Structures are given as structure tokens and as C-alpha cells.
Amino acid sequence: MLKGKTAVVTGGSRGIGRAICLKLAEHGADIAFLYAGNTEKAEETVKAVEAMGRKVRAYRCNVADAEAAAATVKEIVTDFGGIHILVNNAGITKDKLVPMMKAAEFDAVVDTNLKGAFYMIKGVYPLFLKQKSGKIINISSVSGLTGNPGQANYSASKAGLIGLTKAVAKELAGRGVCCNAIAPGFIATEMTEDLENAAVKEAIPMKRFGKAEEVANLALFLAAAHSDYITGEVIRVDGGLAM
């Protein structure tokens, strides 16, 4: 399905990002992924992709650093010969109610979750324009759709990502490039391990957390030709949470 394609996934060392790396590799893509600093986990993803017989390389790069993100995109093009799919998945939380939330905590979350995606899109934009094709997938969140108390910074970053998705989709729709967003609900990863209790599950219509692979299944669809007429869309993977 994705043979001959190179996918760039930010935050591929763990959680949803790793599941996306594995899913795209399983369907033939070569994988270049970025991670913040967890080299041990990044190595695990590298080994798992290699075991599928795909080319893979991990790049330690802070997506919130505009110059580093631009340089890493260039490095990937040199290493892989091109980029066809970009998944902006790297994300962090710094949850607090507004009175307790420091400006620096608001900035850190917006810098990583929203500006990081912008820098990566800026990197691939000229390539995708030139090749008149490309798939951009931004991992937003239901928090960006509905807002979530204690997550003013995170909700703002994830809502911003939806605006970014639609603007980029409109800029590039005439050039054969699709840009869509996925809005996961509660997915079982390190980010949510403290939240997985009976009360939270009870609030989810499907009464369970999602699996990272269930987000990756949608990322595969949005990365493949099956979704070529879909752009500017936001699709929830949330067990019905935000309907």
C-alpha cells in the first residue's frame, strides 16, 4: 500500500507515534521518526521497524526548535531521497488550572504541539508542492474540540492544530496534497497512564480506553491513496467521547 513511500513521524519513540511508525512500515513505508530524548525507546522502535524489513532512522530533534526542525527535514531528504507522508504526532501536556498555570507552561505546550507541527509542515511544504503530492496528518485531540478543564494550554494547542490543518489543506488542495487531523480521545499510553480509572472509563460511551494501534489504523488510511479525496477533515478516534 505504501511501498516506495517515506513517512516522517514526530514523536515516534513511544505511544501513538510508535504505533503509527509500525503500522505504516507494516504496509510498506520507510520510516524517519523524530523524538525528544528517550534514546532507549527510540531504539526499540528502530528495531521493530527493521524487523519488518523497512528502512528506518531515528532523529533526536526538538520540534519546538524551528531551526532544528528545518535541518532535520533536510537531513531526512538526504538520507531517504524524499518525503511523502508527514505525521505531526509529537506532543506534551503540562496540566494545571489557569490560575496556577505559568506563562512558560502555556508556551511550552503550544511550542511543541502547535508550532512544532507548523515548523515540520514548513519543511515539507516546498517538496510536496514540487512533487504535487503528499499527505500531512496532524494528531490533535478531543480536548481541542471540546476544551478540557486543567488543559487551557493543551486544548488551545490542539484547537490551533485544527485551524492549521484547515488552512494548509486549503493552501495545498489544488496541488494534490491532503492535510487532515485525527482527534483521539483517551488512548492508553504513558501520557494517560495516571488517568485510566473506572470513573474516566465510565464517561466514555465505549467504556474503555483506545489502543494506540486504533489511532494508527486511521493514520494509515489518511496516509494511503484510499483517502485521496479527503482533506481539511478532523476525525475522532475516541469511543464516542466527544460526540
For binding to ligand NAP (CB under 6 A), which residues are involved? Answer: 10-11, 13-17, 34-38, 41, 62-64, 89-92, 112-113, 116, 139, 141, 184, 186-187, 189-192
Q: How far is the CB of 171 from ligand NAP (least distance, A)?
A: 22
119 is catalytic: no
Say if CB 195 and CB 149 are below 8 A apart.
Answer: no
Helix (H, G, I), strand (E, B) or coil at 169: helix
Q: How far is the CB of 66 from ligand NAP (least distance, A)?
A: 12
Burial 106-119 (b: 16+ CB within 10 A, else e): bebbbbbbbbbbbb
Catalytic residue chosen out of the listed positions 59, 119, 125, 154: 154
Helix (H, G, I), strand (E, B) or coil at 83: coil
DSSP state string for 197-236: SHHHHHHSTTSSPBPHHHHHHHHHHHHSGGGTT--S-EEE
Nearer to ligand NAP, 36 or 129 (CB): 36
Exposed, middle or buried: residue 132 (CB in 10 Å: 0-12, 13-18, 19+)?
A: exposed
Cβ atoms within 10 A of the Cβ of 147, count?
14
Q: How far is the CB of 109 from ligand NAP (least distance, A)?
A: 9
Nearer to ligand NAP, 132 or 146 (CB): 146
Say if CB 45 and CB 38 are below 8 A apart.
Answer: no
Nearer to ligand NAP, 131 or 220 (CB): 220
Among all residues, which ones are annotated catalytic? 154
